[in-house]
Amino acid sequence: MPELPEVETIKNELSPHIIGSQFTKLTIYDRTLVVKSAVEEFCRELTGQIVAGLQRRGKYLIISLANGKALIIHLRMTGALILNPETINKHVRAVFQFDNNNTMAFIDVRRLGVMWLATDINNLMDKLGPEPLGDEFNVNTLTRKLKGRKAPIKAVLLDQSIIAGIGNMYADEALFNASIHPMKTAGNLSTKDIEKLYNAIVEVIQTAINNKGASVANYKRPQGEPGTAHNYFKVAHLRGQPCPVCGEIIQRLAVRNRGSYYCPNCQRE
């Protein structure tokens, strides 16, 4: 599932193949993929535009165009951007063709991903919290964001307006590394807890980027390879396995209808 490290990897690996290229043709197989404008208008506006650069903000991929507009892509659960796919199967929702003979397919089994053309990306960016690896995110900002919150810390970590880019897998990993129970009330975390959580978030996200993302479910990099970050997971999706620290059996708990994996011994409520 593309969270921050996966989208960052996709951005990095897509960039050399499409920056400076012109969109020559768009084929939309699934019209619900395009939001905020009609498909025809979207295609008309994007065709002929040149890719100026790629950025990532939270889990959004931003393909900025030479005319100042931007193609915003969110891959949600199962979306992937694959360069020069061998076949066009039923899960391909759109194909972009470039003037350098590259094609890029938007493949998405569960069809939850979206994309749109934005004139002004500031509206979107302002809704998102700080980047976990950015200068604005530190122990003080995290402390301020958690203060007074009555929701479980797991739910708060998934709120993109608190911190941008953390999803279910990395929230579980960060809470495990910080020895914090997912149901613990966010506003009740001690100063020490918040310090541990801050360090855990930064470490978990950076490690996952270094490993090119985690290939659970459908995540693939643009050239089709998997990432390796899941090989280093300690609790995420590991129900029934022994905790790597204490050997206790890892359990699953639903927090806001999201599977939360944790060690009942290392992460006391």
Partner DNA sequence: CTTGGGACCTGGCTGC
Partner DNA sequence: TGCAGCCAGGTCCCAA
Catalytic residues: 2-3, 59, 258
CB atoms within 10 A of CB 70: 23
1 forms part of the interface with DNA (CB under 7 A):
yes
CB 172 within 8 A of CB 262: yes
Rg (CA), the chain: 20
Of the residues 151, 207, 248, 264, which one makes contact with DNA according to CB under 7 A: 151
**From 21-29, 42-50, 70-78, 225-233, span contacting DNA (CB under 7 A):** 70-78
Nearer to DNA, 3 or 13 (CB): 3
* Residue list 178-197, contact with DNA (CB under 7 A): 186-187
Nearer to DNA, 21 or 177 (CB): 177
Q: How far is CA 89 from the centre of its chain?
A: 24
Nearer to DNA, 51 or 107 (CB): 107
The residue behind tokens 């165009």 is 65
Which residues are at the interface with DNA (CB under 7 A)? Answer: 1, 3, 32, 58-60, 74, 76-77, 90-91, 109-112, 149-152, 155-156, 158, 160, 167-169, 186-187, 216-217, 236-237, 239, 252, 254, 256-259
